[in-house]
Structures are given as C-alpha cells and as structure tokens.
Chain A
Amino acid sequence: MRFLRAISILLTLAVIAAVGFLLIGWRSEIPPDNQAANAQYPPDLVAKGAQLAAVGNCIACHTEPGQEAFAGGLPVPTPFGTLYSTNITPDPETGIGRWSEAAFVRAMREGVDREGNHLYPAFPYDHFTWVTGEDNKALYAFLMTREPVKATAPANDLVFPLQFRPLLVGWNLLFLREGGMQPDTSQSEEWNRGRYLAEGLGHCGACHTPRNAFGAEDRNHHFGGGEAEGWQAYAINASSHSPVPWTVDSIAFYLRNGWHELHGVSRGPMAEVTGNLGLLPDSDIRAIATYVASVMGEPSPERKEKGERLTRSFGNGGANITTAALDENKASADLSGHPGAAIYGAACATCHESGRPQPYGGLNFALSTAVNAPNPQNIVNVVMFGLPPGDGQPSAVMPAFGNTLNDRQVADLLGYLRARFSDQPAWTGLTDLVAKTRSGEYPVTVLASDGIERAPKNVGAKE
C-alpha cells in the first residue's frame, strides 16, 4: 500500500511539474504574416543585414554542403542526439516566409519560433539574445530577401525526453540571460562594440567555451576551449596554448585574412568564420580583437619572453628565418632515432621547414598551437584529411596523409612533433584516437580552407 501511495504521489508530482512547465513555458503563436516575404526592404538595410549574417555565421549551420544557402537540413550532432537545422529562407510553407519581424525577434531573444515552440539551444539564442532591435531588423530584411527554397529538414533524433520542448523552459531559467549584458562603462567604446559582436551575434563562446552536463556553456570557464564539428576550438582566454601570445593586432589580422604568420591558417569550422568575416568593416574586426585580447589578458613573463624569441626567429614575413631559427625548440634529447623522425623528414619538413611565408608555406611547428594544445584532435584531423584547397581562388593547401600513413605511423609522427616542438607532456592514446577519426566513429567535418563556401562535398572520414 505504502508503495502504491508513493508511486501515486510521484506520478502526481510529475504531472504537476509537466503542467507547470507547460504553463511557464507556454508561448503564444504569433499570427502568420502573409505579406512578409513580399514586402520591400531598403537596400542599405539588406546590405547591413548581410554583414551581420556573416558575423553570425548563419550560413554555416543553416546550409547543407553543396545545397541551397540557408535552406537548412544540416545534421548537428549533440551529446543529446542529432538536430537538423531549419530552413531560414523566406519560403512560406517550409521556411520563415510567414514570420513577422516580431516573430523573428522573439526567436533571436527568447529561442521561441513563430508558432510558440521552444527552439533547441544548438541555435545559440543564449548569444543572439544580445542582438539589438536595430540589428535584428537588418538581419530580418536580409533573410526575407533571400531566394525562397522549399526544403523540409528531417525530424530531429533526440534522446528521451528531450523531444518534449517545454523542458527547455528549465534550461532557459538556468542559462538564458535575456537581452545580454549592459555596456561596461569602464571600458572603451571599441571594447564594448567588440564584446557585443563576440558575445552576441558572433557567438564565439558557443564553440570556444566548454559545455556542462546540460549542454550549456560553463561560465566559470569562459572562452576556456571547447569543441565543434570534430575540431577543438582552442582556449582563447588566459589558458591559450598559442606559443606566441596573441595581441590585438595579430587577432585582427587573423580574423581579417584567415591566417597569421606566427599562428598559421584557420581551418575546420574556424575557416568558415574567418571566411565570412571578410564582409565586415575593419573597425568591427578590430573591436572583436580588442575584446578577445582583453579576455586573454597579459601573458606571463615567461610566455611573453618565449613569444618574443619566436617572433624574432619567424616574424617579419619569414625574412629572419635561419637554420638556427629552424632548429628552434629542438629538444635537448636526441630524437633522430624516434620512429616519427623519418616520417617527419620526408612528409612534413619539406614544407614546414621551408621558411616560405604563410599562408602558402607550412607553419614551423614551434609556432603551432595544435602541437602545444592539450588535446591532439586538430593535428590528427589535419594530418589525416589535409587542408583541401578552396574553389577557384588561392588558398592554403595541405595534402591529406590518411592514405599514406597508417594509424601507428600517424601516432608516431605526432609523438615526434610533440616531443620536438613543445614542452608539454606527451599525448596518450594517439593510435586509438587516429583509428576512431579514420573510421568515422569520431566524426570530423572537413572544409575547404577558404571557408567561404562549404566544400561541395564533405570529404570526411566516412568516405
């Protein structure tokens, strides 16, 4: 009896909780606006929206590789199952063609669609909530003037009970700060502009901040390094592993050009980001750089000293590179008998010690964040899949070595790079990691290194 009573109490509580969620979480439908897609929008507003959409990198998630832009359908793997991005072209039936501006703004600020359904936070509304009404207006005008495409995304495939969208109310209570943060008056206007772009539409933290068990960003480790599409998004705070500490100038150059002589080229999902940022005025890029550099803070005297030494050797467009420079970081222990040494000599050194300037020459590994990072995934990816060339324009390129080297050989090579070019402890479990990356058990998205358009096909691990 007592058992039955306990069960019935529990059930009642569950029902009350569910009803409660439904009530708090209930959002009304915003009536369809059948004229929205046919309305006229001033060209300068649309142009501004295009720039903002580039900051938001909307196209990356809302486009299937090789398919129509913004038509959605891209699978987004999460620890909770697979989500499919939605169609944000102005198609009335399958896209947002009947969304009024109010409905669009609500989605951006609260993560609720026109019909009142809660959206999943893979759509980073916890960042987009910062976006001002004025900027939303421009974004809306830009999207509503795209080519409408009829396309319905496959149904999401989530673990129970996450299909039940009102649960997201709980998530929002915990993790959504509607409207973002007020400007910090103790900081410059440029810094505040940078924070607005980086924390808001730019949603840097969505990849660069680690996530907690609820899939929300861990605020205690802001910009502490995360993961995206099979790539490590490096720490961009005080724990950055970049051998040469970043500065406002170097970040701005990197974001503008997709490479920097002391840091190498952007790749993986970051290639899309830098590719897209090409649309932004210098002032905005500089603002983002100012903010991110301030989050990184002043490097320690040792890091600074090492950075200066490396800059003397490798900076200045490669003009200073000498044999001595190329031997930079050569570990005191003799590595010539290392199983990775011969592989490095024939497969890597010809480019990576050529001293030819970035972005077309190989980066000297003494400068490589990948070799110094705690997790080797990025350098595994680059060795296996290379950097596919961009379409119809000059771009960085690196051959893929997945067909040349077996798992053990890749592991040997990476062990050698780590021993020779970093003072960090050896990586463990390399062979296994390489095997999982090769088999596709650990999926990796491979993108052309120009990054503006997704490669026509994901030349990924599953091939």
Chain B
Amino acid sequence: MTITLNVNGQNHQVDAEPDTPLLYVLRDDLELNAAKYGCGLGQCGACTIMIDGKAALSCVTPLLVAEGREITTVEGLGTIENPGPIQQAFIEKQSAQCGYCIAGMMMSAAALLKHNPKPSDDDIRSALRTNLCRCGTHMRIMAAIKRASELMEQAAVPAATNRSAG
C-alpha cells in the first residue's frame, strides 16, 4: 500500500506492506539512519523515535499506525552544522561510547524534556528505563540530559527577558 508519512516535518510517499515495522521504512526507504536496529523486539530502545511528541519504539510500530501522525527522529533534532540542544549536550558531555544506543536515548530524552523541562534524576531514570546501553555510559547520559535541560532553558530565557524589557 502507499501511505503518506510525515517525518521531521516533511511528507514522504512510501510504498510498503501495512505491517512493515516503521524502523525499516525510516532506514531503508527514507534513508534516515539515526534510529538503530538493536533487538527488533521492543526490548532495547535503540530504535526509539517520537510519534506525536511521545517516545515510541519504531521496531514494533506497524507502518499503518504512523499514517497522519508526526514522526520525529534524531535527524529532526538538529544538523551536524547546527546541532539542537540535546545533540549539543550529548557532544559536550561526550556521552557516546560506541554510540549505538545514543539515538534512542536522545529521543527518549527529547520526549521527556518536552513535558518535563527540568527532570529530576528519578524522572530521567524512569523515562529511560527501557533504553539499554551495553557500554555503560549511563552517568554521562544522565549528565547530558541535565545539560540539555539547561541549554533549552538558556535558549528560552533571552526571549523572555527581551519581552519584559520591551
């Protein structure tokens, strides 16, 4: 079947079976390779993306349920030249060891920060409990998410100050 997918704000026509995992379509058809294939069973979190601003596992998301919804992948968080605050924070804190889990970690973090801009350690642990990292960089990932929260706050502050000054 042909369906229209909205990924990172852009519409794509995709021709695939309705039960194709969204992860395969993102990587193979759209060549968006940030989301990773870890287990294919919804157990590791490497394939995490956002659907309508909430974290979801693309390896167990059938293509048909993605129609008409807003999909976000790490490519939608910023570019190499102009990384977004979450990417910036992960670079600053050097959170990647092998890096395989990091795209999923960033997407879970993005979904968390969206509705909870200043998460506690507990909030982070509980939001990312289904993202596994076999290299053990958890402490740096925690640090990066806290840093991302700061960067996002800083990005929001000048605008607010300007408004009150004006």
Contacts and interface: CB of A to CB of B under 8 A. Distances in A.
A351 interface: yes
B74 interface: no
A347 B126 contact: no
B40 A346 contact: no
Contacts of B20: 346
B130 A399 contact: yes
Nearest to B60: A347
B19 A404 contact: no
Given A342-B18, A399-B60, 14 more contacts: A343-B65, A346-B20, A350-B42, A389-B129, A399-B42, A399-B57, A399-B130, A404-B51, A455-B126, A456-B122, A456-B125, A456-B126, A457-B123, A459-B126
B70 to A, nearest CB: 12
Interface residues of B, number: 27
A403 B51 contact: yes
Contacts of A82: none
A398 interface: yes
Interface in B88-145: 122-123, 125-126, 129-130
B54 interface: yes
Interface residues of A, number: 25
Interface in A305-363: 341-343, 345-347, 350-351, 354
Interface of A: 66, 341-343, 345-347, 350-351, 354, 388-389, 397-399, 401, 403-406, 409, 455-457, 459
A456 B17 CA distance: 40
Interface of B: 17-21, 40-43, 51-52, 54-57, 60-65, 122-123, 125-126, 129-130
A155 B23 CA distance: 50
Contacts of B60: 346-347, 350, 399, 401, 404
A350 B65 contact: no
B42 A398 contact: yes
24 contacts: A66-B122, A342-B17, A342-B18, A342-B19, A343-B19, A346-B61, A346-B63, A347-B60, A347-B62, A350-B41, A350-B60, A388-B129, A388-B130, A397-B130, A399-B43, A403-B54, A403-B56, A404-B51, A404-B60, A404-B65, A405-B65, A456-B122, A456-B125, A457-B123
Most buried by B among A343, A350, A399: A399
A350 B123 CA distance: 30
Contacts of A66: 122
A388 to B, nearest CB: 7
A345 B19 contact: yes
A350 B126 contact: no
Most buried by A among B17, B42, B51, B129: B42
A453 to B, nearest CB: 13
Contacts of A456: 122, 125-126
Given A399-B42, A404-B60, A409 B65 contact: yes
B57 A404 contact: yes
Contacts of A341: 19
Most buried by A among B40, B51, B126: B126
Given A346-B21, A399-B60, A404-B56, A351 B42 contact: yes
A342 B43 contact: no
A401 B65 CA distance: 11
Nearest to A390: B129
Contacts of A403: 51-52, 54-56
